[in-house]
Structure 1
Amino acid sequence: TLEGYQGFVTSVAFSPDGTQIVSSSNDRTVRVWNLSTRKSVGYSFEGHLNYVMSVAFSPDGTKIASGSFDKTVRVWDTYTGKSVGEPFEGHKDNVQSIAFSPDDTKVIVSGSADKTVQVWDAYTGISLGQSLEGHTDSVISVAFSPDTTKVASASHDNILRVWDISTGLSSPLEGHQQFVHSVSFSPDGTKIVSGSWDSPIRVWDVSASLNMKDTLEGYQGFVTSVAFSPDGTQIVSSSNDRTVRVWNLSTRKSVGYSFEGHLNYVMSVAFSPDGTKIASGSFDKTVRVWDTYTGKSVGEPFEGHKDNVQSIAFSPDDTKVVSGSRDRTVCVWDTSTGLSIGQPLEEGHKEAVTSITFSPDDMKIVSGSADKTVQVWDAYTGISLGQSLEGHTDSVISVAFSPDTTKVASASHDNILRVWDISTGLSSPLEGHQQFVHSVSFSPDGTKIVSGSWDSPIRVWDVSASLNMKGVLP
């Protein structure tokens, strides 16, 4: 595992060649990790007197910059871990964010809780001009434009600012209603994307007017589920406002209509493999299939569940939809007729079915449940293949088949992953997460598993006889 800190990890970044990771911590240190060995290079970069909150590699990978709660910026030699010169002093409060200029001219920009942005010469540590003042609250994120002539900053004053480095003047980008915590330029420098606690992702034109370009807005309630189309050009989303919407990623606009028909929260959505249809599951106990291009329901709602539909998936061949419900059953539906294929699969789970998917070969279905078990089913007969897979001590939230369909991985609120041999029903626990594990997936070649958890680190595991943890991406 990528371990070595006495405290928590505050920031991580890849080296330009992708072979290393730099990380910072509240233990006041910076560390560099070798991705091949998953080990620290052997030394910590020490010198800061308080939490280190942000780190970044220089474009050539030879230097690392860090910003700290001790109000300073430091530059380090990547290979020796030694500080290059004295700390950069000028901020009057915590340094929250830091970035190198992309043109390798060794210019650094920093954002601080003192409400200012500072641009520095990375060689001398001298501030290039005055502090950039204009924000009325902490600056949380900073980014250079690709041509290095501008800097964008995001703040807890709910505003973005774009600064002209040569003049120190800025233009405010207003529209967010809550803290803005992330900002980035597009590769061509013509747009800025920002993230905020007010939920919508906003895209802005970097032009004279700097008007907001668009937001993915349209809901009266909150978003419950999202999925990409197979070709990556669209997103489908569902909401507690009972609707489904499709968004064009090129225009960042809804296609112009909402898919209406459900009578309660829509909790799960999925594109068909060919992208022409969308399936949705709702608290109204029904499943619906929609035409992606017209937004019209394909036939009547699929009725059969006796409680909320929690999870939904298409079969790889597009002909079937499988749904899992709070009524403890799994249903397989014919997408062309809307009829249930056989009886509901109900001889297995004793509580809500929370996660469900088809095997890659279309022959099996796996389901996870709040009853702490995993069940594998024959997709054609509906018969349970063996006993319930037992071993978790809390709800199973996510399940996935291995590409060769011989194994199933499950993620649970017991903080553990399990990998099951379908033929024997035996499992190996993968322990390391400290909080709920909510997502699991196999790599395409089946040799690794990736997991996501409320404890933040993404963990990568070897699928081998020992099933030891491969590495942690803190």
Structure 2
Amino acid sequence: MDALRRCYGEAVASSDSEGEVERKRVDAAPHLDPKDVRAKGGSIVSRATTKEGDVHVQGVFAENNHLLGRVDDLAVARTGFETQRREHDRIRRGGGSDPTRKRAKKKTTRDGPNHDPSTDAWLYEDRKSPWAAPGKKEAVERNREDAAMREQAAEEEEEEEDIFAVEKPTGPSEAPVTSTKPSVETDKTVFHGKQEKDYQGRGWSEPPRDRKPIQETCYVPKRHVHTWKGHTKGVAAIRFFPIHGHLLLSASMDGTVKIWDVYGDKRCMRSYMGHAQAVRDICFSNDGTRFASCSWDKKMKLWDTETGKVLGTYSTGRVPLCVKIHPNENMQHVLLAGTSDNKVVEFDTNTGEQIQQYTEHMGAVNTITFIDDNRRFVTSSDDKTVRVWEYGIPVQIKYIAEPDMHSMPSVAVHPNQKWFVAQSLDNTVVTYSTKDRFRMNRKKTFKGHRNSGYACQVNFSHDGQFVVSGDAEGRCFFWDWKTTRVFRSIKAHDNVCVGCEWHPYETSKVATCGWDGLIKYWD
């Protein structure tokens, strides 16, 4: 190739001296026809016409003008020259193919010629129309495949039913499962007191007559005064009897609800047995004569506190995680529940019908808290959001979601009704306004406890001076509302301290419950 280039240079020099053929590019020389430049047998052959009209056929009939042969000027496109040069280099190195050699025909196989990927005609080979009648063999194979698919689907459905045992959920238009009569097999109650009525005919649940005036200032308890024992498993929630607090209601993971005496000998007064699984939440009515309970058995029950009779059973086919009786005096027949299928359902206990659904959440609803004179309520969910609703209208009026927010399994309202606090699972207690904007008050963030992964209850003292919360390590924390500093912490339980309630009448006493199955009273 180097020798060819040297010859090409000498030919250019000789042609310049003799002036036989004018050396120009093909695209710049009008007297050169690009069609005359062609390749033949791997060697370049061209036809050039001089200004005088003489025709010279280079490399064929021309006489030698060089020691190595005939060398004349040639005009070739750069791309064509480089392509042919690279092809000859590949041939010399043993790779590539000779462009002058004819390509062999495509080989055939037993199944026929190889498919050409540039066309899609082969896709339709040996393919029948879907409306064509199947042959006998094809019909048998298709029937076998259908039968195998049906058997597999049936086995999968049986496995899902065995694992989850989920009942068919009722739609908004379907009537919920209700029962106004207690079941003899499941709904039971046992009275543990001395007598259900005294000599004057008063029931055991009536408040005492000799109560003292309520103190305005609350004090943080210092010592342990009593322990209630009776549950065989952990206690999930506790509630004091409204206003008077002479009774304490407890819900346990053993599926029972018990009520305890607080003023007298502190014995268990009555046990309510009607749930097949652990009880999740409980709620008193305003007068304390009734209470509602919800359980992991997907049922909500309304109980008579004194007699232990089940007044109604309600279900949506999903697990209710929280239950709330409307706090208005004229709305005591309304029962709300947050369920595991991302809804807040509303029942009328007089008729036993489901009357409303609130369906904006993307996760299980954990809490229902009424604010603004009970005209609105706040819900928190596993979707890490807080939503505010106008009661009776299933459209949210406020949506609170931040990138750094966590799930909030417990919410409590300040006694002045201007703020509510929420137990955040990042080991903090956060504060929000109850007014129209529902802004977060970042100055009112309470830290120091460890509650990540546990739904520990948060609560207020009745004068609003202290915030109280349980802890994953069994401690009970008390914060000062104004300074947000830890005022005191006590080791309440050996396991998780789930619930804490400030006594509504004796303002220096607090009750706590935990997963150790104990309920403790502090003063």
Normalising by structure 2, report the TM-score: 0.45
Q: Pick the structure with more strand per residue.
A: 1
Bigger Cα Rg: 2
Normalising by structure 1, report the TM-score: 0.49
